[in-house]
Structure 1
Amino acid sequence: MLKEERQQFILDEIRKNNKVLSSELSTSLNVSEDTIRRDLRELSDLGTIRRVHGGAVKNQNNISGGMEDVSSYIPFSYEDREVYSKANKEVIADKAISLIKDDMVILIDGGTTNLEITKRLPKDLKATIITNCLPVATSLAPYRFVDVYFLGGKMLPNALVTVGNSVMKELSEIRADLCFMGTRSIDLKRGITDIDREEVEVKSAMSNAALKVVSVATSDKLMTSQPFLGIPINKIHMLITELNASDGVVQGFKQEGLDIL
């Protein structure tokens, strides 16, 4: 199938269903998810769709001619996001685990890449892990030597993370060695950004509570931006993607002073 035919198929699916999943398009069109992501990026650049975690949704500007609002964002379920780009997340997780040492205090926020990290930790790890993400916390139950602290607060139902004043207060009393930051979008100008104001407030508080902040992001999140600023680029110490550190896509972040893994 030609690229133009593929992209027309994608547009037809979005018109019918309001959204598409990259994993389902890959299966339906018998092409790799990387190919689908390139198609979605091109269509997004044309303004015909809007890319989101795991796929794309209708571009409200294109449909109605009105101003796009954050409320038009159509989130995929946590389960959908968990299987999206799973192989890349596994590569990222293995890199991230190389940073973890016994007796560390580690902050981990939400996101399915962070969940992949906790699922793959060494079974004999001795550490303290503090999180506001329910799936991350429950995934750590089998680890006998890991002390797990869950930050209680208001639960965001799609992200399955807690937010609010109680979370912020607890974070103000914590000093961690390392923070793994789930990343919806990151670019050179604004750093880590997200679609939810309360969630970015927690991200900011987590970054202030850690000696080292590590952004974990599949490469499709790079050079994208969301409405709310979470962590400025100069407060991020390291970026981990599935790419090689020599890949041209990450060189801009390296020039900004981030270590690339």
Structure 2
Amino acid sequence: MLKKERQDAIMRLINLHNRVLTSDLVHLLNVSEDTVRRDLQEMASENLLYKVHGGALSKSYQSSFDDSTVYAKDTKIAIAKKALPLIKDGSVVLTGGGTTIIEMVKQLPQHLEATFFTISPLVAVELAKFSRIEVILIGGLFSKNSQVTYGGHVINQLNDIKADLCLLGTSALHPVNGLTDTDWEINQLKKTMLNSSRKAAVLCISEKLDTSFRLRVSSLESIQYLITELDANDPRLNPYRSKDLEII
């Protein structure tokens, strides 16, 4: 694989998943760790991504205030709008982080009265713009890579919540392997969030469908709603429809 092809592949993965691990890139691209590190360093010097210990982050994942570099922004806005009917006045909602969730928050109606728990400071900042929404940021250690709080203290707080609805983004979704991720701490958070909610919705751009990573978050049976930008009757969603998911 030529360097440009390799770096284009890295950029696509960065845009799609917001972060990548060096170890995963070595496996996916079938190159040495030194080659991946050189690529990431070169791309970081060109201001294409943020190089961090063990991998790299998307430029769009660092702030909710500058959304000009958000990957597939229009697609994420379309998904966000489809999620809104699930959020009712008086609801207790639990959210993760990520650009799709942030876009969803930006679409909320100003008159909505609800309580939102979140592990994402960036999501909390956006929610704070709504006068009738109570915002509870769950505090703990802060992951610079995932931009959310994590750790035992966060898990304990999540265990005390019983939300009406959990809204999650995802790194990968597969009809057999379910929700998967690359980060152990994030996996534990998402598992606890699902267990702390009566219903759960996954917001997922179609490019992430039929993909999986090495760490499993949950089976599809733990999720009630799947929201993509695709038409609900799109045949690409048939493998998920058979899992009794409500496709939105």
Q: Same fold (TM over 0.5)?
A: yes
TM bracket, shorter-chain basis: 0.7 to 0.9
- In the superposition, the TM-score normalised over structure 1's length comes to 0.77
Change in Cα spacing, 1:227 to 1:52, as seen in structure 2 (3 Å) is farther
- 1:32-87, CA deviations, whole angstroms, 9 ceiling, x for partnerless residues? xxxxxxxx8xxxxxxxxx99526999942422399x9xx86433231499610101
1:34 alignment counterpart: none
Distance of 1:131 and 1:183 partners within structure 2: 15
- In the superposition, the TM-score normalised over structure 2's length comes to 0.81
Letter paired with 1:63? V
Letter paired with 1:221? K
Distance of 1:170 and 1:197 partners within structure 2: 18
What stretches of structure 1 of length at least 5 have no aligned partner? 1-7, 23-39, 41-49
CA contact (8 A) 2:16 2:71 kept: no
- 1:204-259, CA deviations, whole angstroms, 9 ceiling, x for partnerless residues? 00001111110100001111111211121110111000000111111110101110
CA displacement at 1:19 relative to structure 2? 6.2
Change in Cα spacing, 1:256 to 1:19, as seen in structure 2 (3 Å) is closer
2:227 alignment counterpart: 240
Of residues 232, 236, 244 in structure 2, which corresponds to 1:249? 236
1:37 alignment counterpart: none
| Identity rate, percent | 35
Of residues 202, 205, 210 in structure 2, which corresponds to 1:218? 205
Partner SS state of residue 211, structure 1 = strand
CA contact (8 A) 1:60 1:72 kept: no
CA contact (8 A) 2:200 2:223 kept: yes
Matched, 1:131 2:118: yes
CA displacement at 1:18 relative to structure 2? 7.9
User: Number of residue pairs matched?
Assistant: 222
Of residues 26, 30, 40 in structure 2, which corresponds to 1:60? 26
2:47 alignment counterpart: none
- 1:79-129, CA deviations, whole angstroms, 9 ceiling, x for partnerless residues? 499610101100000000111110000001011101111111001110000
CA contact (8 A) 1:217 1:239 kept: yes
Partner SS state of residue 142, structure 2 = strand
Distance of 1:73 and 1:249 partners within structure 2: 31
Matched, 1:149 2:109: no
Letter paired with 1:190? N
RMSD between aligned residues: 2.8
